[in-house]
Structure 1
Amino acid sequence: MSYKPVTHVLFDMDGLILNTEDLYTIGFQKVATRYGKNFDYTLKCKIMGQQSKEFATSIVEGLELPMTIDEFLKETRTIFSELFPQSKIMPGVEKLVRHLHENNVPIGLATSSSKETYDLKVTNHQNFFNLLPYKTWGSSDPAVKRGKPYPDIFLVAADKFPDKPAPEKCLVFEDSLNGVRGARAAGMQVVMVPDPRLDRALAADATLILDSMEDFRPELFALPPFTN
């Protein structure tokens, strides 16, 4: 497959930069278990990349939980306030982000998380996230009307770069099907680093699929190559 040159890069956060998708699974299953339900991978795939009220609705309705959306969000926020500060950076991510930063490639964050949960997740990674100066928190930004798989967050995030690049000049890194579809709908190329359990046949929209960020070669998209 041929790849087109890009000048700007946008990163998803959950499951792509940080291992927080694992923490989400623990938290959601804790609530589901109380009602004898199972938060399985099929439901997880459906909600990955959605904004908070969207995924809460999907889980409450999908598992038929006897609680309101707001009750579910309140309960899980308490759980995640303990879990999220334990988040860790995924393999290969820090090397790539630092490489792009050092080579003056404009980089930004396009996460469906709220600013509140973002702050919890980056508790121990403040210096790293300072390398991503242009940040969009989908659940907190009124300009992001719809969550992934709609293109809103990527278009809003790209518009935060000072030079306002065209969508085709932006490369997105994602781990979810909703994120891939949203990036493609925005007119951007997208590198997917999915959960190993994902059926890759479902990710035909991805420009490139990798097992790990460690496998990424920047020069494929005309970005500065690694020197070591």
Structure 2
Amino acid sequence: MPSNESPKITHVIFDMDGLLLDTETQYEKAIGNVVGAYGHEYPFELKRKIMGRKATEGIQIIVDTLQLPITYEQYSELVDAEYRKVFSQYIPLMPGAERLVRHLSAKGVPIAVATSSKGFTFNLKTKPHQELFSLFHHILIASEDPEIVAGKPHPQTFLVAAARFDEGNRPTDMSRVLVFEDSVAGVQAANAAGMRSVWVPDPRMPRDAVVAYQTLDSLEQFKPEEYGLPAYD
């Protein structure tokens, strides 16, 4: 739990998949369909290795680990086709996500999204929630952003996201930036950037997989006032 000595948070950055949007089941279904055609399952231990990483890195890990008899490009085409199927369905928000985003926006706290999602899947997944996502100052899609040459767990994704707040309102002290993440790689990236990490992991994830500033079971448990942010009304 944050201490009284915790710096007052001025900016907040959110991951998206598994944190704001309940997408993980759909990802597992899509990838499972592809690898299942080659006689493989998609175990959670393998999923752990790719969570939070750029799409290209995840593809390499899956193809190499399972020794699939296809190229990275062929796998990418197959899994993209599956993504179009599963993400064309309604994707619900994670518990507590809407309340927190709307609260911070209403109180004038600068908020952004930094996701490793592909651009076309981002558009599919967020289509039912466009009004909510319009509340973010900006959205960084790391997998397709030319400034991001090293994905999570490298800190670049979050450092670039922080630099894109309006001039004159950019954080200069990274310890006053709060990052919400569900992946180990994402928490490692936030920590490496010198930011405060709040980890909301998959229930299957061992709680000692990474050290976050705070670990929660759900965004519903988050108390903004513990970070110097306005409390819920």
So what's the TM-score if we normalise by structure 1? 0.97
Which has the higher mean CA deviation after the structures are superposed, 134-143 or 76-85?
Answer: 76-85
Quick check: 1:217 aligned with 2:220? no
Quick check: 1:197 aligned with 2:214? no
Quick check: 1:70 aligned with 2:76? no
* 2:99 corresponds to: 95
Aligned amino acid, residue 31 of structure 1: V
Once residues 111 and 187 of structure 2 are traced to their aligned partners in structure 1, the CA distance between those partners, rounded to angstroms, is 18
Once residues 79 and 107 of structure 2 are traced to their aligned partners in structure 1, the CA distance between those partners, rounded to angstroms, is 40
Once residues 67 and 75 of structure 2 are traced to their aligned partners in structure 1, the CA distance between those partners, rounded to angstroms, is 12
* 1:138 corresponds to: 142
CA RMSD after TM alignment: 1.0
Q: Give the secondary-structure state (helix, strand or coil) at the position aligned to 2:208.
A: helix
Aligned amino acid, residue 224 of structure 2: P
Once residues 179 and 142 of structure 2 are traced to their aligned partners in structure 1, the CA distance between those partners, rounded to angstroms, is 15
Cα shift at 1:133: 2.4
% identical aligned pairs: 44
Structure 1's unaligned 5+ residue stretches are none
* 2:126 corresponds to: 122
2:159 to 149, 155, 160: 155
Q: Give the secondary-structure state (helix, strand or coil) at the position aligned to 1:61.
A: helix
Q: For residues 39-81 of structure 1, give each alpha carbon's deviation from its aligned partner in whole angstroms, at most 9, with x where no partner exists.
A: 1111111100111111000100011111111111111111111
Cα shift at 1:212: 0.6
Once residues 156 and 124 of structure 2 are traced to their aligned partners in structure 1, the CA distance between those partners, rounded to angstroms, is 24
Once residues 4 and 29 of structure 1 are traced to their aligned partners in structure 2, the CA distance between those partners, rounded to angstroms, is 43
* 1:177 corresponds to: 184
* 2:21 corresponds to: 18
| 8 Å CA contact retained: 1:10, 1:110 | yes
Structure 2's unaligned 5+ residue stretches are none
Cα shift at 1:4: 2.6
| 8 Å CA contact retained: 1:5, 1:169 | yes
Cα shift at 1:19: 1.1
So what's the TM-score if we normalise by structure 2? 0.95
Once residues 210 and 121 of structure 2 are traced to their aligned partners in structure 1, the CA distance between those partners, rounded to angstroms, is 27
The list of structure 1 runs, each at least 4 consecutive aligned residues, that deviate by more than 6 angstroms after superposition, is: none
Q: What is the aligned length?
A: 226
| 8 Å CA contact retained: 1:15, 1:22 | no
Aligned amino acid, residue 143 of structure 2: S
Cα shift at 1:101: 0.3
* 2:170 corresponds to: 164
Which has the higher mean CA deviation after the structures are superposed, 78-87 or 66-75?
Answer: 78-87
| 8 Å CA contact retained: 1:193, 1:209 | yes
